[in-house]
Amino acid sequence: MRDTGHAVELHFGYDVRDEHWLSRLSYERLAELERLRADPEAARALAAKLLKGDESGDNA
C-alpha cells in the first residue's frame, strides 16, 4: 500500500461455528434443513433466491 499509494479495502470473516453448532439450532431450523436435504430442487431454489437477494426481506 505504501509503495503504490493505492487504497486497499480488507474484509475479515470469522466462522464462529464450533463442532456443536448444529445441536444448538432450533427444532424449526433443523426441520427446515431436513426438508431441504430431502428436496434438492427446493434447496437449489432457496440458494438461488438467497444469492439473488430477496428484496422483500423474507429469506425463509
Please count the residues of the chain. Answer: 60
At what angle are helices 27-38 and 40-52 packed, to 10 degrees?
Answer: 110
Domain regions of the chain by residue span: 1-52
What digits encode the pLDDT tens for the residues 1-33? 567 777 777 777 777 778 888 888 899 999 999
d(CA 55, CA 11): 24
pLDDT of residue 2: 63
pLDDT of residue 18: 82
Alpha helices in the chain (DSSP H): 27-38, 40-52
More confident residue, 34 or 58: 34
More confident residue, 48 or 19: 48
pTM greater than 0.75: no
pLDDT of residue 24: 87
Our CA dihedral for 27, 31, 37, 43, rounded to 10 degrees, sits at: -110
